[in-house]
Amino acid sequence: MIRTMGRKRVVAAASMVAGLSLIVAGCSDSEGGDDEMSADPTTSADSTAGAAAGEGVATDRELVVWAGAQTPLNQTFNPFVPEVQHLALGGVYESLFYYNKAGSGEPLPLLGESFEWNADGTQLTITIREGVTWNDGEAFTTDDVIYAFTNDIAAPDYIASAEATDDTTVILSFDEPQYTNELSLLGLTWMIPEHVWANLDEDPLSFPNIEPVGTGPYTIASISDANYTGVANPDYWGGEPNLTNVRYIGIDGNQSAEDLLRTGQIDWVGMFVPEPQGMEDAGLGYINTPQDPTVLYTCSNADLGCEGDQTDVAVRQALNLAIDRSAIKDKAFVGLTGTASPTFALLGRDDQWISPDVSAESPQSPEIEEAQAILEEAGYTADADGFYGKDGEAIEMSLTSVDGWTDYNNAAQLIQEQAAEAGIKVTASTVSWNEFADGRTNGDFELIMGGVIGTSVPDPFQIYKDWFGGDATTPAGTALEPGDWNFSRYSNETVDEQIQVAASTIDEATKIAAYATIQEEITRDLPYIPIVINATQTFYNQTDYTGWPTEDNLYAFPPAWASGGAGVVLSNLGGTE
Amino acid sequence: MRYVGRRLVIYAVTLWAAISLNFFLPRMLPGDPASILIAKMSRNGDVTEAQLESIRRLFGNPEASLWQQYLDYWEQLFSGDLGTSVSFYPTPVTELIGSALPWSIGLVGVATIISFTIGIGAGMFTGWKRGTWVDHVVPSTTLLQSLPYFWVAMVLIYFFSVQNQWFPIIGGYNVFMFNGPEWSWEFVGSVLYHAILPAITIVISSVGGWLLGMRNMMVSTMGEDYVTTAEAKGLKKRRIMTTYAARNAMLPSIAGFGVALGFVVGGFVVMETVFSYPGIGKLMITAVRANDYALMQGVFLVITLTVLVAMFITDMIYGLIDPRARQNV
C-alpha cells in the first residue's frame, strides 16, 4: 500500500493539483527482450546528424516511467480533465514557456519566443515560435494561440481579448493588472489545435482524446488500463528527441515501485524512500529537491470564529520558539527535509525576496526561555506542574495529523513533547483523511500538521495571496471556496493591502518593499508555524540514460510526477555511449 | 423441483432488498456525485452553465423525488446502465467493471478453487491418519492462515522477484511488453506467469482453514456407526475414506465454499494492490477514496449478485449431495 511520503501529503493536503497521486517511477524494460539498449553506432550517427535537442546518443531502449498513476489508468489525454495522463502535458501539448520550479532563472521558451508586459500589466505581448507544426502536419499559428486563450472549454475569464497583430505576435488584454497570472497564462495554458477542438462532435470535457494532436516532442502510441506508450515526434521543432520510446506504467504501491527500481525495471520515479543511500548503492541516480513546506495550521482568527488557545498570538509565538526543528527533521523525516523560512520564501531559490528585517530561517533549536518570557508577558503564569495558563485555565491545544502519514504522526508526537518542555500543553492525535479535510476547510480545528503548496515560480507571492490573504478565507463554519487555501482564517488588512500592491507591479523594488511588510506581519502573527520543507526525491537510471536534471544542472524540476516538465526532461535525455 | 422453486423465491426477495439498500445507502451519505465532479472541474477553470446542465443529466436530477429516482434506478438497471464514474469520468461504470471482473474471477476464483481442493484433500488425509505424525502438519497450516495476505505477498515478492528475479513484481500481464490485453498465446502465457505469485499468496493464506475444518469433520465422521459398519463389511479402506467418511464430512465445507466464492469478487483488495493486479477490489478502493457513488454502487451490486449466485449454486449442489436438504426446506 502507499507509504506515506511528504509529497503525497502536500498534494492530498492540497487535495488536487495533479489529480494523480504523486509518486513515480521510471524505467527500463528488462523483460521486453528486444528492447536492448542501442549502443549501435548507426543510430548514434543519426542522432548527431539530426541536430537532436538532448544529450547523449539516440537510443531505442524504452524508458519506463512511473508518474504516480495507479491502476486502472484513466484512459484520457484530454488536457482539460483532472485525470489527464502525465505525458500529455508537456510531452504532447506544450505551453508557451516552461517555468522551472527548482531554479530561479528565466522561463524556458517553448512555443513562445519572448513576451513583454505593458507598463500597467493590462497587456501581454507574446511572440510565438515560427515554423512549428502539429503532429498531424498542420501549421501552428497565432489562431491556435488565440483559441487556447479564448475557448469556451476552460479559458480564464480575466482575459478581455486576444488578438494577433502579425503572424507571430499575439496580444492579450486584461481589464486589470495580471502580472501574477504570468505563470498560468504562459506556463500552464496548453496550446491545443483549433482545427481539432473547435469542431468536436462531443462535449470537450468528456472527449478521451486517445490520439492527441500536439506540438510536443512525443506522440501517443497506445494506452490500456495498465500502461501507455509514447514515441518521439520526428518533426519536433527542437529536433527529434534522442530517446525514441517511452512507456508509462501504473503502479499501486511505493513498495512495488521501489522493487522495480532496484531490479532495473523502471527508469524514472519521484517518490519518498526513507533510505535513499541504498538506491544510490544500486547504481541509481538520486536528487532531493525540497519544495513544499510542512507547517502547523493554526485556526488563528477568533474574529472569524476560531476557537482555542492558539487564537492568542503569544501562544503561537511561544509554540514556534518551543519547537526543536532539528530533532523533528532527524527523527520524523530521516534527515531529508530542507530548512523552513517563516517568510515562506524557498531558501536558496527566493532569497532575494526575503526582507533583511526578519529572520530568514525558523529557529532550528528550541528557545524555551524566550518562549516562556513571551507567555509571561502576555499574562500567562505557570502552574505547579509547569504548564502555563491564564485565569486558572491552562493552555491546552489539540494537534491532529492524518492517520497513516507516519512522518507527520511522529512529528506531531515530538511537538507535543517539545511543547510540554516549554510548559505548553499540546495533545497530539490522529484523524482520518476525511476528518482532516473537513476540519481544515471548515475552520473546525486548533492545530493541524499540514502542508503548504510551494510556488512554481521563484517568488512566494502565490502563498501570500492564497494562504494568507483575507480574500482567500471564509468565517469558521463555512467551507473554503475551491482554489482558496487560507485554512487559518488569517485576515490582516496590512497584508491584504500589500498583496494588492505586489499584484499590480512588476517593479522589483516595489515588490520587495511590499513583501517586507507582509513578512513582518506574518512572521509575527504566525498563522502557519513553519516546521520543515518536505523532501522531494527523484530516482533515475543513470546507467543507460544521460541528460537528467542534477544538482549542477537543474534545468527542470526533476520528479517524474511533476506536471508539465515531462517534455523538457524527456527531450533532453539520451542513451549513454 | 419444489426445492429449487422455494430457493428461487427466497433469492429473488434477497436480491430486491440488496439492490434497494444499494440505492438508498449512498443517498444517506453527505455530498452527491454531481457536486463532487463540479468541484473537481472547477479547479481547472470555470464550469459553464451548459456543462452544469449536462452533468446534472448524467447523474440524475437531484430535484426529483426519492421515489421517482428509485424507479429510474430500476429502469437503468434493467437497461444495463450503472451510471458514469466520477473518478474515471467519463467512463461508464459497466465498462470499468467489465474490464476488471474477468481478472478477479480468473485469478481469485481459480486460486480459491485450488485452495479448496488442496485443503479438502489434505484435510481428508490428515483426518484419516489421525493420531499419527500427520497431525503435526495441521498447526503449521493454521499458522499460515493467520498471516496477513499483504505480508505473505511482500515476502514472496522479496524472495522470488527481487532477490531472485524469477517472477514479475507487478501486473496482470507483462506491462513492459504488451500495450494492453490482446489475443495471442504469448499474452496468455504472460497472464498465467503473472498469476503464479498472487495465486500462491491466496492459496497459502487460505488453505489452512479448509484443511482444519475438513480434518475435524473427518475425525468426527469416522466415529459414526456407518463407518464402523462399512469397515465390518470389509470394504476397501480407500472406499470408506472417500465415499463414506469424506462425502459426509465435506458438507459444512461446501456450504462455506459458496460464501468464499462470493467474496472472491470483492475480497483480496489488498492482494490486488500489492501486485498492482487489475481487479474489482481495486475499483472498490478507488471508488471509496473518491466518493464515487456510481462506481461504488456498481461494484457492490456485482458483489451482491455474485454472492447470491454462488450461494444459489452451492445450495443446488448441496441438495444433490445431501438428500436431507431437499426434504427439510
Q: pLDDT tens across A287-339, in order? A: 999 989 999 999 999 999 999 999 999 999 999 999 999 999 999 998 999 99
Test B91 with A75 for CB contact under 8 angstroms. yes
User: Is the Cβ of B76 closer than 8 Å to some Cβ of chain A?
Assistant: no
Q: Is the peptide bond before A72 cis (omega within 30 degrees of 0)?
A: yes
What is the pLDDT at residue A133? Answer: 95
Q: How far apart are CA A168 and CA A141, in angstroms?
A: 8
Q: What SS3 class is residue B291?
A: coil
User: Is the Cβ of B88 closer than 8 Å to some Cβ of chain A?
Assistant: yes
* A160-184 pLDDT tens trace: 999 999 999 999 999 988 888 888 8
Residue B273 is nearest to which of A64, A156, A253, comparing CB atoms?
A: A253
Q: Is A267 part of a structural domain of the chain? A: no
User: Is the Cβ of B175 closer than 8 Å to some Cβ of chain A?
Assistant: yes
The fraction of chain A above a pLDDT of 70, given in percent, is: 90
Task: Give Cβ neighbours of residue B17 (< 8 Å, ≥ 6 apart).
Answer: none
The radius of gyration computed from the CA coordinates of chain B, to the nearest angstrom, equals 24
Instruction: Identify the weakest region by mean pLDDT among A239-253, A538-552, B90-104.
Output: B90-104
Phi, psi of A545 (to 5 degrees): -130, 150
Strands A63-66 and A245-249: parallel
Test B176 with A1 for CB contact under 8 angstroms. no
- A419-458 b/e (C-beta count within 10 Å ≥ 16 → b): bbebbbbbebebbebeebbebbbbbebbbbbbbbbbbbbb
User: Is the Cβ of A204 closer than 8 Å to some Cβ of chain B?
Assistant: no
Same-domain pairing of A438 and A562: no
Beta-ladder partners of A529: A296
Q: How far apart are CA A467 and CA B16, in angstroms?
A: 50
What is the pLDDT at residue A320? Answer: 95
User: Is the Cβ of B49 closer than 8 Å to some Cβ of chain A?
Assistant: no
Residue B231: what residue type? E
What is the pLDDT at residue B85? Answer: 80
* B253-282 pLDDT tens trace: 888 887 777 666 655 777 888 888 888 888
Q: How far apart are CA A374 and CA A321, in angstroms?
A: 10
Same-domain pairing of A489 and A554: no
ipTM surpasses 0.90: no
Q: What is the 3-state secondary structure (H, E, C) of A12-62?
A: HHHCCCCCCCCCCEEECCCCCCCCCCCCCHHHHHHHHHCCCCCCCECECCC
Which residue on chain B is closest to A156 by alpha carbon? B45
Comparing CA positions, the residue from B264, B227, B253 lying closest to residue B321 is B253
Same-domain pairing of A548 and A435: no
Q: How far apart are CA B114 and CA B123, in angstroms?
A: 14
Comparing CA positions, the residue from A186, A199, A88, A100 lying closest to residue A145 is A186
Q: Is A278 part of a structural domain of the chain? A: no
Residue A345: what residue type? A
Rounded to 5 degrees, what angle do the CA atoms A87, A89, A95 make?
145
Residue B98 burial (10 A CB sphere; 0-12, 13-18, 19+): exposed
Q: How many residues appear in chain B? A: 329
Rounded to 5 degrees, what angle do the CA atoms A326, A331, A335 make?
65
What is the pLDDT at residue A228? Answer: 95
Test A265 with B180 for CB contact under 8 angstroms. no
Same-domain pairing of A439 and A551: no
Size of interface A-B (CB pairs under 8 A): 137
Residue B30 Cα, gap to closest chain A Cα (Å): 12
The answer, yes or no, to whether residue A398 has pLDDT greater than 90, is yes
Q: Is A474 part of a structural domain of the chain? A: yes
Rounded to 5 degrees, what angle do the CA atoms A366, A297, A420 make?
35
Which residue on chain B is closest to A225 by alpha carbon? B180
Same-domain pairing of A380 and A477: yes
The answer, yes or no, to whether residue A24 has pLDDT greater than 60, is no
Test A154 with B276 for CB contact under 8 angstroms. no
Residue A527 burial (10 A CB sphere; 0-12, 13-18, 19+): buried
CA distances B67 to A462, B31, B77, B298, Å, are 48, 19, 15, 20
Residue pair A391/A383 in contact by the 8 Å Cβ criterion: no
The C-alpha cell 430535484 sits at: B63
User: Is the Cβ of B12 closer than 8 Å to some Cβ of chain A?
Assistant: no
Residue A222 Cα, gap to closest chain B Cα (Å): 6
Test B181 with A224 for CB contact under 8 angstroms. yes
The CATH number given to whatever domain includes residue A348 is 3.10.105.10
Same-domain pairing of A442 and A503: yes
Same-domain pairing of A41 and A153: yes
Which residue on chain B is closest to A265 by alpha carbon? B176
Q: How far apart are CA B129 and CA B132, in angstroms?
A: 6
Test A82 with B169 for CB contact under 8 angstroms. no
User: Is the Cβ of B142 closer than 8 Å to some Cβ of chain A?
Assistant: no
What is the pLDDT at residue B251? Answer: 86
Q: Is A324 part of a structural domain of the chain? A: yes
Q: Write out chain A residues lying below 8 Å of B283, CB-based.
A: 72
User: Is the Cβ of A278 closer than 8 Å to some Cβ of chain B?
Assistant: no
The fraction of chain A above a pLDDT of 90, given in percent, is: 61
Look up residue B30 and give its three cell numbers.
453527505
Q: Is A286 part of a structural domain of the chain? A: no
H or E segment and range at residue A438: helix A433-442
Q: Write out chain B residues lying below 8 Å of A208, CB-based.
A: 90
The CATH number given to whatever domain includes residue A18 is 3.90.76.10
Comparing CA positions, the residue from A330, A314, A500 lying closest to residue A395 is A314
Same-domain pairing of A461 and A498: yes
Residue pair A380/A390 in contact by the 8 Å Cβ criterion: yes
Side-chain-facing half-sphere of A383: CA atoms under 13 Å: 13
* A528-539 pLDDT tens trace: 999 999 999 999
Look up residue A215 and give its three cell numbers.
506540438
Q: How many residues appear in chain A? A: 577
Same-domain pairing of A314 and A331: yes
Phi, psi of A180 (to 5 degrees): -70, -10
User: Is the Cβ of B315 closer than 8 Å to some Cβ of chain A?
Assistant: no
Q: How far apart are CA A349 and CA B177, in angstroms?
A: 41
Look up residue A316 and give its three cell numbers.
503561537
Residue pair A401/A449 in contact by the 8 Å Cβ criterion: yes
Q: How far apart are CA A293 and CA B182, in angstroms?
A: 46
The fraction of chain B above a pLDDT of 90, given in percent, is: 15
Say which DSSP state B327 is in: H
Task: Give Cβ neighbours of residue B96 (< 8 Å, ≥ 6 apart).
Answer: A72, B85, B88, B283, B295, B298
User: Is the Cβ of A534 closer than 8 Å to some Cβ of chain B?
Assistant: no
Test B51 with A30 for CB contact under 8 angstroms. no
Residue B179 Cα, gap to closest chain A Cα (Å): 6
Residue B323 pLDDT grade (very low, low, confident, very high; cuts 50, 70, 90): confident
Residue B184: what residue type? S
Comparing CA positions, the residue from A523, A514, A506, A558 lying closest to residue A103 is A558
The answer, yes or no, to whether residue B312 has pLDDT greater than 90, is no
Q: Write out chain B residues lying below 8 Å of A157, CB-based.
A: 46
DSSP tally for chain A: helices H, then strands E: 16, 25
Q: How far apart are CA A165 and CA A123, in angstroms?
A: 13
User: Is the Cβ of A148 closer than 8 Å to some Cβ of chain B?
Assistant: no
Q: Is the peptide bond before B252 cis (omega within 30 degrees of 0)?
A: no
Residue A24 burial (10 A CB sphere; 0-12, 13-18, 19+): buried
Kindly report the average pLDDT of chain A as a whole number. 86
Domain around A19: 8-209+536-575
The domain total for chain A is 2
Beta-ladder partners of A285: A540
H or E segment and range at residue B215: helix B185-221
Test A31 with B282 for CB contact under 8 angstroms. no
User: Is the Cβ of A36 closer than 8 Å to some Cβ of chain B?
Assistant: no
Higher-pLDDT residue of A28, A577:
A577
User: Is the Cβ of A114 closer than 8 Å to some Cβ of chain B?
Assistant: no
Residue B48 pLDDT grade (very low, low, confident, very high; cuts 50, 70, 90): low
Residue B55 pLDDT grade (very low, low, confident, very high; cuts 50, 70, 90): low
Give B 241-280 residues with CB within 8 A of chain A: 270, 272-276, 278
- The sign one gets for the Cα dihedral A260, A286, A339, A12 is negative
Test A206 with B89 for CB contact under 8 angstroms. yes
Which residue on chain A is closest to B153 by alpha carbon? A256
User: Is the Cβ of B164 closer than 8 Å to some Cβ of chain A?
Assistant: no
Same-domain pairing of A515 and A543: no
Q: Is A264 part of a structural domain of the chain? A: no
Other CB atoms within a 10 A radius of the CB of residue B174 amount to 21
Same-domain pairing of A567 and A500: no
Look up residue A179 and give its three cell numbers.
502580472
Residue A35 pLDDT grade (very low, low, confident, very high; cuts 50, 70, 90): very low
Say which DSSP state A274 is in: S
Q: Is A445 part of a structural domain of the chain? A: yes
Q: DSSP letters along A164-208, please? A: EEETTEEEEEESS--GGGHIIIIIS-----HHHHTT-SS-GGG--
Same-domain pairing of A482 and A553: no
Instruction: Taking residues A374-380, report their average pLDDT.
Output: 93
Q: Is A94 part of a structural domain of the chain? A: yes
What is the pLDDT at residue A47? Answer: 32
Look up residue B71 and give its three cell numbers.
424507479
Test A256 with B180 for CB contact under 8 angstroms. no
Q: What is the 3-state secondary structure (H, E, C) of B58-126?
A: HCCCCCCCHHHHHHHHHHHHHCCCCCECCCCCCCEHHHHHHHHHHHHHHHHHHHHHHHHHHHHHHHHHH
Q: What SS3 class is residue A440?
A: helix
Phi, psi of A269 (to 5 degrees): -145, 145
The C-alpha cell 460464501 sits at: B259
